[in-house]
Amino acid sequence: MMKYTRIYLFFLITLVLVSCHNHPDVDVSKVQFNLKIERFDQEMASLSPANVATKAPALQKKYGRFYNDYMERMLEVGSTSDTAYYKLLRVILQNKDYLELKLSVASTYPNLDQTETELNDAFKHILYYYPKQKLPRLITFLSGFAVQTPIGNDYIGIGLDMFLGADSKFYPALRQNLPQYITRRFTPQNITPRVVEVFIRENMFPEEDKDRSLLSKAVYNGKILYCMGAMMPNVADTLKIGYKTKQLEWCKNNEVSIWAYFLDNDLLYETDYLKIQKYLSEAPFTPGLGDQSESAPKLGVWIGWQIVKRYMDKNPKMTLQQLMAEKDAQRILRLSNYKPK
């Protein structure tokens, strides 16, 4: 089953480098792993209405579950169990918006050498800490602005049209569904952080339903970000959390006030999602805290990250594996002695 959140699908058928928290790096030179990103987008580009019947079966065989998910769940052309879906697929292949997007992706990403190097390093770090971890296939595709990094049973997809650059001509037309504070991160530099994040978050350490309090959710997200730092020690904090440089600086300069706000408003143990979601979700800023033009969003996530970093600093013998296995957010808070000054 593919896990993804639909954002927007335009071809309907008839129907963050600034200052980093310097996570100690490890030597991964002896880790045996060689990742190759599979360019489904390029192979899909070779399909035409005339050759669908001859080329589609080979693509289906090669890409397996991803192919089926792509056709059935993203393009929504119908079941791939028979060839009836070819009819709607041919409609898409002739759609002028699809053709224009295909050309833009091909121009922006003639190759993915840099991204492949970055992801190889990140996944070697994952294998260093978790040698038995099964790693996914990485497959690029055109999502129609539907999803960045869907994760399936054996793959992570990379929707290259969601990483065309913040100034892409396509994104302004999508503002109703994709506001600028989201699309500003649709850059090539964000591919590796988003792939690593979705793998850690959805595959390795999925959130448990019982974690309903703001503290539990904050610490969980803080652990994810800390783990991302271990796997990508040279990636900027802004890229990990998705902040602008000035938003990250605002958080650092207002850490005492942010923490006091959570305490004064009895938010740490609040479990009403309607009350706490604004401290966890994407937004241009956080209502009620600071100037709207400067304050950062998802402050609960950022505070959770600081708690986890303080916890690891206070407990130097604690390993990454032990941190990720610790389920008690209250214990992490207590042993962190987190009291910003």
Q: What is the pLDDT of residue 9?
A: 37
Query: For the chain, which residues make up each domain, given as ranges?
Result: 40-203, 207-336
CA atoms 313, 314, 316, 320: torsion sign: negative
CB atoms within 10 A of CB 127: 16
Q: In angstroms, how far is the first alpha carbon of the chain from the final one? A: 46
Question: If you search the block for the tokens 């595959």, which residue do you land on?
Answer: 203
At 292 the pLDDT is 67
pTM: 0.91
C-alpha triplet 172, 151, 215: angle, nearest 5°: 85
pLDDT tens string 198-209: 999 999 999 998
CA dist., res. 17 & res. 6, Å (int): 29
CA separation for the pair 225, 247 (Å, rounded): 17
DSSP 53-95: HHHHHHHHHHHHHHHHHIIIIIS----TTSGGGHHHHHHHHT-
Residue 271 is predicted with a pLDDT of 96
| Contact between residue 72 and residue 79 where contact means Cβ atoms under 8 Å apart | yes
Residues 40 and 138: their CA atoms lie apart, in Å, by 10
Residues of the chain under the 70 pLDDT cut: 1-23, 292-293
User: Would the CA dihedral through 339, 218, 243, 239 be positive or negative?
Assistant: positive
The pLDDT value recorded for residue 294 is 76
Taken in order 83, 86, 88, 92, is the CA torsion positive or negative? positive
Following CA atoms 101, 102, 105, 109 in sequence, which dihedral angle do they give, to the nearest 10 degrees?
-170
